[in-house]
Amino acid sequence: MENRIPVYQPTLLGNERKYVNECLDSTWISSKGKFIAEFENAFANYINVEHATTVCNGTVAIHLALLALGIGSGDEVIVPTLTYIASANAIAYTGAKPVFVDSLADTWQMNPADVRAKITPNTRAIMAVHLYGHPCDMQTLKEICKEYDLFLIEDCAEAIGSLYKNQHVGTFGDISTFSFFGNKTITTGEGGMVVTNNYYLYERATHFKGQGLDKDRQYWHDIIGYNYRMTNICAAIGLAQLEQIDSFLSRKIEIAALYKEAFKNSEISFHAEHADVNSSYWMCSILVPKPYQRDLLCAYLASQGIETRPLFYPVHTMPMYANGFAKHAVAEDLGLRGINLPSYPSLSNEQIRFITDAINIFIGESKSTTLSKHKVLDKILN
């Protein structure tokens, strides 16, 4: 059955078409044009940071942030294992080593105690990833970085609009990154942003992203740089999206509240925000009671026309990062039991009820049946 309710889709109801047409009419469609600076300035103002520079996607944003900090061969960067692969890959791009840490069972974010335990003389930075829109414990992570003289990087790909103690994520670290992929809270199709309050880091980032071009000499390149620039068309879409962000976030918080209410008397655990934070609920996510139920529930929901996806598999379990395998029990458990549910702003209340009813029916049937777990799905469907 073709999915009737996708796990995510962008909402393009503002000035996106108007601004893109301006790009086309002006012929400024590549990496120069007025919308790039306008988007950068508007984004910096929105999260209250001094400097922002656009890039072509969220992965290169992380790579660029690491390059700006001078991270390279022989260095170690501490990163949560429960994250999208880009967080770790970007570290590996520089020649540095990603060092994985476990998660907290309540917030699902990186465990500061495990961070402290993994620090070595080679550690240069901690990368805080605000998973699924829920902020990390930034106060503790900042204290650790200060104590050990480490850089603090924030991967905010999933967390625009998220607050820690009423301060926007992305403003705590030395340098931070955002993603604007098509399934993010605001999108440019493909795109990202690097932000910082440090002028020199900003200058280094912009230098690296533009092929290492000297500012004062045409076609003279004084470092090995990269072509990580965003197009004017993407920036135009991003600016139009940013104009609507308050309504997007408001609706996503409403959606999260409806999910949470629907599961309050069930065995489903909803990923709700904890003390001192405001989650942007990029993805509304749940845990099923038993690992075997996860894939069965996803298959059942797919049969009902509801698209889902599993939580990220812990990166330390993947072949290229599994050398010297170390157990991260909480992240492994979350990765086996977690599901991302449809979470986009235009999702209707009726669709949410349809989704939650289907989940509660499945959990009830899978709990009550005496059949083998492999027969549960057949029983529910038939």
Q: What is the pLDDT of residues 164-203, one digit of tens each?
A: 999 999 999 999 999 999 999 999 999 999 999 999 999 9
Q: What is the pLDDT of residues 335-365, one digit of tens each?
A: 999 999 999 999 999 999 999 999 999 998 8
Strand-pairing partners, residue 310, are 339
CATH code, 73: 3.40.640.10
Is 268 contained in some domain?
yes
Is 5 contained in some domain?
no
Residue 329 in tokens:
């029990």
* Band (234; pLDDT cuts 50, 70, 90): very high
Q: Are residues 189 and 333 in the same domain?
A: no
Residue 103 in tokens:
């998660």
Count the residues in the chain: 382
Alpha helix ranges (H) inside 167-290:
199-209, 232-242, 245-262
Is 7 contained in some domain?
no
Confidence at residue 181, expressed as pLDDT on a 0 to 100 scale: 98
Confidence at residue 381, expressed as pLDDT on a 0 to 100 scale: 59
Confidence at residue 369, expressed as pLDDT on a 0 to 100 scale: 60
The proportion of the chain whose per-residue pLDDT surpasses 90, expressed as a percent, equals 93
- Which of 196, 227, 242 lies at the terminal end of a domain, its last residue? 242
Rounded distance, CA 329 to CA 335, Å? 10
Rounded (10°) angle between helices 232-242 and 34-47: 40
Q: What is the pLDDT of residues 1-25, one digit of tens each?
A: 455 999 999 999 999 999 999 999 9
Q: Are residues 44 and 157 in the same domain?
A: yes
Q: Are residues 222 and 250 in the same domain?
A: no
- Which of 211, 242, 273 lies at the terminal end of a domain, its last residue? 242
Q: Are residues 263 and 371 in the same domain?
A: yes
Q: What is the pLDDT of residues 263-283, one digit of tens each?
A: 999 999 999 999 999 999 999
Confidence at residue 272, expressed as pLDDT on a 0 to 100 scale: 93
Q: Are residues 318 and 186 in the same domain?
A: no
Confidence at residue 379, expressed as pLDDT on a 0 to 100 scale: 57
For range 134-142, the mean pLDDT = 98
Q: Burial code of 310-333, b = ≥16 C-beta within 10 A, e = fewer?
A: ebbebbbbeeebeeeeeebebbbb
Domains held by the chain: number:
2
Averaged pLDDT of the chain: 95
Alpha helix ranges (H) inside the chain:
16-26, 34-47, 58-69, 85-93, 112-117, 138-148, 199-209, 232-242, 245-262, 291-303, 329-337, 349-368, 376-381
For range 104-121, the mean pLDDT = 98
For range 24-35, the mean pLDDT = 94
Number of neighbours of residue 65 by Cβ within 10 angstroms: 31
Confidence at residue 299, expressed as pLDDT on a 0 to 100 scale: 97
Check if the beta carbon of residue 106 is closer than 8 Å to that of residue 271: no
Is 253 contained in some domain?
yes
For range 284-293, the mean pLDDT = 97
- Which of 197, 214, 242 lies at the terminal end of a domain, its last residue? 242
Alpha-carbon distance values, 266 to 170, 259, 269, 361 (Å): 35, 11, 8, 10
Q: What is the pLDDT of residues 305-326, one digit of tens each?
A: 999 999 999 999 999 999 877 8
Is 164 contained in some domain?
yes
Is 2 contained in some domain?
no
Higher pLDDT, 305 or 368: 305
Q: Are residues 273 and 174 in the same domain?
A: no
Is 11 contained in some domain?
no
Rounded distance, CA 325 to CA 321, Å? 8
Q: Are residues 263 and 216 in the same domain?
A: no
Q: Are residues 329 and 295 in the same domain?
A: yes
* Band (227; pLDDT cuts 50, 70, 90): very high
Statement: the pTM of the whole predicted model exceeds 0.75: yes
Q: Are residues 262 and 149 in the same domain?
A: no
Range of the domain at 282: 245-381
Strand-pairing partners, residue 54, are 193
Rounded distance, CA 221 to CA 231, Å? 21
* Pick from 82, 121, 123: nearest CA to 99: 123
Rounded distance, CA 164 to CA 180, Å? 21
Alpha-carbon distance values, 240 to 36, 188, 236, 248 (Å): 12, 9, 6, 12
Q: Are residues 217 and 309 in the same domain?
A: no
Confidence at residue 371, expressed as pLDDT on a 0 to 100 scale: 47
Q: Are residues 370 and 325 in the same domain?
A: yes
Q: Are residues 156 and 44 in the same domain?
A: yes
CATH code, 263: 3.90.1150.10
For range 49-78, the mean pLDDT = 98
Is 9 contained in some domain?
no
Confidence at residue 1, expressed as pLDDT on a 0 to 100 scale: 45
Surface-to-core class of residue 191, CB atoms within 10 Å of its CB (0-12 exposed, 13-18 middle, 19+ buried): buried
